[in-house]
Amino acid sequence: MFPAKIEKYLRPQSIEEALSAIAPYEEGEAIFLAGGQSAMQAMKARMLRPRCIIDLQDINELKGIEHNENGLTIGAMTRYIEIAKARTLQGPFSALHDAASHVGDRQVRNRGTIGGSLCWNYAASCTPAAVLALDGQLDLLDSRGSTRSLPADDFLLGALETARAEDEILLSVSWPPPPRRTGSAYKKWGQIKDALPVVGICVKVTLDGSGCCDAARIALTGLANGAQRAPDGETGLIGSDGQNVAIENAMEAIAESTETHSDLSASAAYRKQLIRTLGTKVAKTAFERARQN
């Protein structure tokens, strides 16, 4: 597999330079390249045929993790390995650490970026599900200088689909300070350790003063529609103190209401069973982390 002819390869040093570089091109003629772990494969298969590649890896403004009393902000070009090593991502944001620690293999984790994963939004991808469950806010800037901020629910539209325009750069993902007693967790199941998730599940819960869940978000990945919310399971956790029956019932509700598919990795029925068993483990971990926070 060889890519179609590429006329230009650019490595801008600033966001403004990158946006200026893409402005002259028509739709589909130029792409922003983040870590390149997915886009390069798509170019080899000629799913993408850009005339120009604008590589963002030299733009330091897009890198880094800032976590303080004002909340959490992760630059779009922050690599998985940096998120996996960030000791401050505990409790409310532990799911980000969980997901980044198990994305692909070591090479992918050292090259891939959170922004690239979100903008590609592959059907079986860990990071979009974690950002969706944690209710991340995505900040974008286009070639005309217009900015906008979208919640993950509105940004992630389906497998390989997002609300990002081609001349927009994803700047960062951010979260306000979370409520006390909030915990999150993510886990995937694949056929081998570094495999893409056959099913991945992320759960975030916030507990009230009595230790019962008063807010929950759950997201799935590995399904045909990619990262998606699981509202039936979220409703099932409200009022629960994290005991087995309530969690198992919530995961059963997700399994029954979620459309799954069969492929060479697993049958539709097996994916539903993974939702039940894997989801129960993840929810228990999220509750445990919330109690400790």
Q: For 222-249, how does the pLDDT look when each residue is reduced to its tens digit (9 = 90+)?
A: 999 999 999 999 999 999 999 999 999 9
- Cβ(237)–Cβ(205) under 8 Å? yes
Rounded (10°) angle between helices 244-257 and 268-292? 140
Closest CA to 121 of 163, 61, 78, 171: 163
The domains of the chain are located at 8-55, 60-175, 182-292
Q: Residue with structure tokens 């971990």?
A: 285
Options 3.40.50.10310, 3.30.465.10, 1.10.1760.20, 3.40.50.2300; CATH of 60-175: 3.30.465.10
Are 258 and 269 a contacting pair, CB within 8 Å?
Answer: no
Angle at 50 between CA 62 and CA 12, to 5 degrees: 30
Q: What one-letter code names the amino acid at 168?
A: E
Q: Which amino acid is present at 230?
A: A
Amino acid at 112: G
Greater confidence (192 vs 164) lies with: 164
The residues, ordered by sequence, that sit 6+ positions from 176 with a Cβ below 8 Å of its Cβ are 70, 71
Tell me the pLDDT tens digit for each residue of 103-132.
988 888 999 999 999 999 999 999 999 999
- The alpha carbon dihedral of 180, 210, 187, 101 has a sign of positive
Do strands 8-10 and 52-55 pair parallel, antiparallel, or not at all (unpaired)? Answer: parallel
According to CATH, the topology of domain 8-55 is 3.30.43
Q: Which CATH class is domain 182-292?
A: alpha beta
pLDDT digits (tens, 9 = 90+) for 191-208: 887 789 999 999 999 999
pLDDT at position 285 over 70: yes
Beta bridge partners of residue 158, listed in sequence order: 161
Per-residue pLDDT averaged across 10-38, rounded? 95
| 62 CB-near residues (< 8 Å, 6+ apart) | 15, 56, 75, 76, 77, 78, 115, 169, 171, 172
Please say if the pLDDT value at position 270 is more than 70: yes
Helix (H/G/I), strand (E/B), else coil: 192: coil
Strand order through the sheet with 52-55: 8-10, 52-55, 30-33
* Greatest Cα-to-Cα distance within the chain, rounded to the nearest angstrom: 62
The whole-number pLDDT of residue 1 equals 67
Find the mean pLDDT for residues 176-193. Answer: 94
Mean pLDDT of 22-37: 93
Which structure tokens are listed for 283? 């929810």
